[in-house]
Amino acid sequence: MSRNLRYRYTVKVLTPLHVGSGETIPDVAYHVSQSDSSSCFWTFLDLNAAAVEWSRRSGSTDFNVDTVAEFARKHRGPYRKYTLQVSPTVARFLRQTGSQRPRIQEQIKLDGKPYLPGSSLKGAIRTALIGEMLLQGKKAEFEEAIRASLAKEDVSKAHLSDKAEETVLGDQHHDPLRGLRIGDSNEVSPREYLTISDVRVMGFDADSVEVVWKRFGIFLETLRPEPETLLTGELSFSTFLLEDPEVKKHLDFEGKTDLLLPDQLPALCQKKYLLLLQQELDLYKALKTTSNRQLTKVVGTLTNIQQQSETFGKNEFLLQLSWGTGWRAKTVGDHIGEKLLRQINREKQNWFQPQKDYAIADGRFFSSEHGEFTSPKTRRLVMEGDTPAWPLGWVKVSLEKLPEH
């Protein structure tokens, strides 16, 4: 019998998904054109290739980037990396000139094609696993480890839970997630599956819960939910690490691995992220909007995902991944008491700017029929025109058993 149970995973993108490469596309490296009133196109230019040809034609190597960019835009056929369809509203922003022309955060790619790293999926699963272990009795020792880290001046807020997570899961040699291997997905065509999203930062007043909007926008490449984007890859469970009694005893895996087995993993993730979805819905419904930017489409998007999830099979589940999803999706902060969360911010505030993703004290404690939770005061939402429409990073994951070798 094989020591690995192999599954094919399929990720269906439900809302715009950005997994960053760490690079930005500079304002001189793209061109925006319009074929009609409803169809606009954005082209990523290959300035290196354009510079070589410009030098050959001009006989000079003395050039600046603006000169090369203008040459590439004029003769863009040979210097086109890829072209994406974008909305007229996004095109209008990207056509701005001078200092107002935005840079674009680039999607991670392999050989020029976007894909989903397996580490992104594994990170979301890890968050669900730690959260469930806290619910099952590990919360006290987790919080005790947090308090111990708080007493150390050289530990920043971003790394405050590192030792606490080791207390629950074990160090890198004794982490049960060693038994779960998730490969990267297939690569997909940028032209068919990428677009440029206009993301705005929504905040709210902690007392009045009135919505306020930051003045600036963030532009980034995203995998789009429409038309349908599907990404596939392979996931394997090591029965040797996860089920063998002697191995579990040696690696201190006892009581930690059952939730990672194929018959438990989907339910583990669905529990965590369905509750998160419901609480986000509660939040958006509670917020008061005084501007023309109503949150009706955001509520509708989340409601639709919630309704879809009611039809999921036993091997299907929700996750919220990657950029713009906030600390509630990426951490187990919801399982820590409000008093400790405020202590964290008070004692570590000099390490951390309040507007960053994981800020806590700049938020508000909510209580609803679906549980109590602490919410940061900002959200990043993808716009449709001037209307907020999409939260980021929601996906549906399906698992299909593969034959043994």
Tens digits of per-residue pLDDT, 374-387? 667 789 999 999 89
pLDDT of amino acid 162? 86
**What is the pLDDT confidence band of residue 348, given thresholds at 50, 70 and 90?**
low
Taking alpha carbons only, the member of 215, 369, 211, 365 closest to residue 290 is 211
**Cα separation, 285 vs 116, whole angstroms:** 31
Contact criterion met (CB below 8 Å) for 73 and 80: no
Q: Where are the alpha helices (DSSP H) in 46-150?
A: 47-58, 65-74, 88-94, 118-133, 139-150
- Helix, strand, coil percentages in the chain from 3-state DSSP, rounded to 5: 40, 30, 30
Q: What would the pLDDT profile of 102-142 be if each residue is shown by its tens digit?
A: 999 999 999 999 999 999 999 999 999 999 999 998 889 98
- Given a cut of 80, is residue 188 above it in pLDDT? yes
Top-confidence residue, 143 or 10: 10
Q: What is the mean pLDDT of residues 245-262?
A: 88
C-alpha distances in Å from residue 348, one per residue of 156, 329, 332, 359: 7, 21, 18, 10
> Which residues have C-beta within 8 Å of that of residue 360, sequence separation ≥ 6?
327, 333, 341, 342, 344, 345, 374, 376
Name the packing angle between helices 139-150 and 162-169 (round to 10°). 150
**Cα separation, 400 vs 50, whole angstroms:** 46
Burial 91-104 (b: 16+ CB within 10 A, else e): bebbeeeeeeebbb
Q: What would the pLDDT profile of 265-279 be if each residue is shown by its tens digit?
A: 999 999 999 999 998
Phi/psi of residue 299, nearest 5 degrees? -60, -40
- Given a cut of 90, is residue 209 above it in pLDDT? no
**What is the pLDDT confidence band of residue 69, given thresholds at 50, 70 and 90?**
very high
Give me 165's structure tokens: 């997570």
**Cα separation, 377 vs 391, whole angstroms:** 15
Contact criterion met (CB below 8 Å) for 326 and 334: no
How much of the chain exceeds pLDDT 90, in percent?
A: 55
> Which residues have C-beta within 8 Å of that of residue 96, sequence separation ≥ 6?
102
Q: Domains of the chain: which residue ranges?
A: 4-19+116-401, 27-64+73-102
How high does pLDDT run on average in the chain? 87
